Chains A and B, each alone.
Chain A
Amino acid sequence: MKSISQSIPRPDGMAKADGSALYVADLQFDGTEGGRSPDGAVALGSESGLSKDMLLGRFYRSPYPRGKIRRLQLPECPPGYHIISAADIPQGGKNEIPMAASRDMPCFAENEIRYAGQIVALVAGPDAYEIERLIRAIELEVDETPVVKNIDEALALKGGAIHGEDNIFCRVDLDEGEVDEVFAGAASVVEGVYETGFQEQFYMEGQGLIAWRTGNKCGVRGSMQCPYYVHHAVSHVLGLKHDEIRVIADTIGGGFGGKEDYPEIMGAPLAVASWVSGKPIRMLMDRVEDMAFTSKRHPSRCVYRSALDSEGRILAIDATVDLDGGAYETYTKIVLMRAVFHSLGVYAIPVFRIRGRGIATNTVPSGAFRGFGAPQSLFGIEMHMEEIARRNRCEVLDYKRNYFLKKGDTTVTGGIFRDEIILDKLIAEAERLSGYSGKRIKLGRGKGQGIGMSFILHGCGFTGDGEQKIIKGKAVLKKHRDDKVEILCAAVDFGQGPQTTFRKVVARVLGIEPNTVIFNYPDTDFVPDSGPTVASRTIMIVGYLLQKAAEELKAIWVEGEEQVVEQNYQMPPGMSWDQERLRGDSYATYGWGVNVCEVELDFLTWETKVIGAWAVFDVGRAVDHRVVNGQIQGGMSQALGYGAMEKLEVDSKGQFRQITMADYMVPTSVDFPRTEALTVDNPYLYGAFGAKGMGEMVHDGGHAAFAAAVEQACGKACTTIPLVPETLMEIMEA
């Protein structure tokens, strides 16, 4: 029998290649009341929000960055037009976007403005020109307060606190051992400050949703990673019951986390507008609005202090991890948890104190982006280890090896690494592919060439007991009378491959062909809540539920009968978590990886050129080699972009300066070479066919490997990314 890893053609590939796949902007009224497209994949008709009287919707966004709202004057609306604001939230609903445990972000700004571009009102109607006129006629008066543009200004309480007394949304603290005592007795201390910038997800399809109302039911459909998150947000804002809401995910043109949170922020006000007006409304963001006002990766500043003994060995680490959460807390706490829980990387450090803070500023609320905090703190620890090794005049790989985690070690939260850790195997493969160690010695230092290696671990699935307590994922397999098997779950394929891998998992168990398995985009009227499509959980958690369901179905299979099996998530045995104290197994298991990057530096222009990139990962087992390779190639490209090119700054109003595709630079086909990639099998008992989550860790380490290579090439410490030529010039001339 062929290995499950052997790749199959993507089932969603042909429709995407021939242009027939329908994204939210492509949906048109087909003259029907309801039903689905001939292949069953797309919900059509006015029952599903597609009718000929669909209105166009646009937000009115605050031009002011910060202050108390003194007056909001809405113009008279001509017939057929609607202006919706906080006052229109129906009774029973709340003017709040529910995001994780936070409720601080309003659906429509009501009392205060916290960032330029904050949603104040929504204008809907048939004609774009009239909508534009109405938007211009809205009068907003704000008593302006000085703008807080970054972490420093926030901590200095510029203009008074934005949030609470101290601008700290949330803290995550970890302690192990007597840190102060160890530092007092240390032979030396190495300290470094490591900073990362904003990063734009840059999905190719802008945000887009349709909301509609059918009787007493509210619908939202479009481009989203997490239909049940949108469902929940609509329920909260409108005060509707579960079965009064329908959410449909359409084909989605990329997410990377950017369509985890934003469809709630956009969908809730859109649902209010549709609910109040009774009309279907489509809202599509153009590229500039999307880049200017949707959530980005949290900028970070990590300070690491290491106490060393006289031999240069690490005795303790004292670290702070600060994230710029932007104007509202939204997902900052859970991003911060992941950042802090990954802040010691792949190293076993006996004594440590880590202080994590999510900080309020007047920028767009930071949000989800592939890696979710880990790319920030892993950059910090990896660059810090480079620095310590340099001080010790020691090859960094040799130095790092002394601290590698192994099976049975304790996690930073006092849990246990229960599974085999195969870093040595991964390194051997990375060495074989890249020739890292030989080149590292040969290239010298400060001579314009360099090679860097970084290490990654990534906790798979939700942090702590989130899967058990919050998500409670459920997946269903339905066998129709014609014996066709249908997957019913809420996982969305936004390019990362469940359309391929889920079919393979189910088909393999049942001994059928993957392309006979039905797997439509989720529609909450038909699929259970298997959880959001985030957190490297899809193949490991939902895929595993489907594998178990398929096994059960196989056992009870009766030809010609409709049969339904359901599987509910269960925490793997032995795992435990105390959310109050943040103690225990913060993740069920971990993915591991080694990234290598080789660069050349042009001393005339400080431009860097990546001439080699290598990546070796432990993903448990690849359910499809090409799906996995696609994640690695794409993730490395994003991570290298993050490290080298993707500069995103804010201006004096806290607004982004790079808001067009001409100004925000993502990699093109000529910017980086192919990543030579490999996976090493290390199957995980509770993942589909041994699969662990891997969609995020491919973005966790490329930037650190790049920065390490640039350090060697330029001979100076590179502690800030992106390392654009302007930054490198400053570093080298300092």
Chain B
Amino acid sequence: MIRLRINGLEREVEIPHPMYRLLDVLREDIGLTGAKEGCGEGECGACAVLLNGVLVNSCLIPASQVDEADILTPEGLAETEAGKLLAKCFTECHGAQCGFCTPGMMMAAAELLFTNRKPTEVEIREALAGNICRCTGYDMIIDAVQLATERGANIW
């Protein structure tokens, strides 16, 4: 049994084995399917969540290791002002195409803006370098983050 604070709610989860992944807790046990499995090897960023406020790939984390941690998933982010703004900017700028990488992109973008309110384009690109997108060529994702930077002056 592990305890996690997921999107602000205390959750207790019975894990089937000790190295059960955080991604599986979220998707299989809690039913939060916003974080996706793109590779299972930490290469694509589709499973990104914030762990104690820090961007991580949830496919590489045994849930038992982070017992008692605070987790923010794409669903949780979407409930916040920051998440709503980012989602709107992604939608307007067409930063989402097939959408499979988008929740992970949102997490990476949010972590960037939480720590750097006015990132340059180079900083945005570097912050998103672990989130692979095959549809957009990234440029409209960059547009979305830049728009969120401008519009969210009071949020970040």
A253 to B130: give the CA distance in the assembly, Å. 18
Q: Is B97 interfacial (CB-CB < 8 Å)?
A: yes
A590 to B23: give the CA distance in the assembly, Å. 46
Majority SS at the chain A contact face = loop
A666 to B35: give the CA distance in the assembly, Å. 21
Neighbouring A residues of B78 by C-beta, 8 Å: 17-20
Mark A7-50 against chain B: 1 for CB-CB distance below 8 A, else 0: 10110111111111111011010000000000000000000000
Neighbouring A residues of B102 by C-beta, 8 Å: 16-17
Chain B: minimal CB distance from A284 (Å): 9
Q: Is B136 interfacial (CB-CB < 8 Å)?
A: yes
Mark A649-666 against chain B: 1 for CB-CB distance below 8 A, else 0: 000000000001110001
A570 to B117: give the CA distance in the assembly, Å. 55
Q: Is A212 interfacial (CB-CB < 8 Å)?
A: no
Q: Which residue of A lies closest to B106 (CB)?
A: A17
Which of A16, A660, A666 has the most chain B CB within a 10 Å cutoff?
A16
On whether A661 and B41 interact (CB within 8 A), knowing A17-B90, A204-B46, A253-B36, the answer reads: yes
Neighbouring B residues of A674 by C-beta, 8 Å: 139, 142
Majority SS at the chain B contact face = loop
A494 to B90: give the CA distance in the assembly, Å. 16
* Pair A626/B94 contact, Cβ less than 8 Å: yes
Neighbouring A residues of B46 by C-beta, 8 Å: 204
Neighbouring A residues of B32 by C-beta, 8 Å: 19
- The A666-693 residues at the B interface (CB cut-off 8 A) are 666-670, 672, 674-675
Neighbouring B residues of A633 by C-beta, 8 Å: 136-140
Q: Which residue of B lies closest to A676 (CB)?
A: B139
A666 to B131: give the CA distance in the assembly, Å. 11
Which of A15, A205, A286, A626 has the most chain B CB within a 10 Å cutoff?
A205
Q: Is A557 interfacial (CB-CB < 8 Å)?
A: no
On whether A629 and B140 interact (CB within 8 A), knowing A28-B31, A495-B97, the answer reads: yes
* Pair A495/B91 contact, Cβ less than 8 Å: no
Question: How many B residues are at the interface, by size bracket?
Answer: 35 or more
A9 to B144: give the CA distance in the assembly, Å. 12
* Pair B141/A669 contact, Cβ less than 8 Å: yes
Neighbouring B residues of A459 by C-beta, 8 Å: none
A308 to B130: give the CA distance in the assembly, Å. 50
* Pair B87/A18 contact, Cβ less than 8 Å: yes
Q: Is A160 interfacial (CB-CB < 8 Å)?
A: no
On whether A19 and B74 interact (CB within 8 A), knowing A9-B92, A674-B142, the answer reads: yes
Q: Which residue of B lies closest to A201 (CB)?
A: B134
Q: Is B96 interfacial (CB-CB < 8 Å)?
A: yes
On whether A18 and B132 interact (CB within 8 A), knowing A633-B139, A675-B139, the answer reads: no
Known contacts A20-B78, A254-B98, A636-B137; 7 further A-B pairs (Cβ under 8 A) = A205-B36, A287-B41, A629-B140, A635-B137, A661-B38, A662-B43, A674-B142
The chain B residues found within 8 Å of chain A, CB to CB, are 27, 31-41, 43-44, 46, 73-75, 78, 83, 86-88, 90-103, 106, 124-126, 128-142
The chain A residues found within 8 Å of chain B, CB to CB, are 7, 9-10, 12-23, 25-26, 28, 201-206, 251-256, 286-287, 494-497, 626-627, 629-630, 633-638, 660-662, 666-670, 672, 674-675
* 10 A-B pairs closest in CB distance: A19-B34, A16-B99, A13-B91, A253-B100, A495-B97, A637-B137, A495-B98, A18-B78, A19-B74, A17-B87
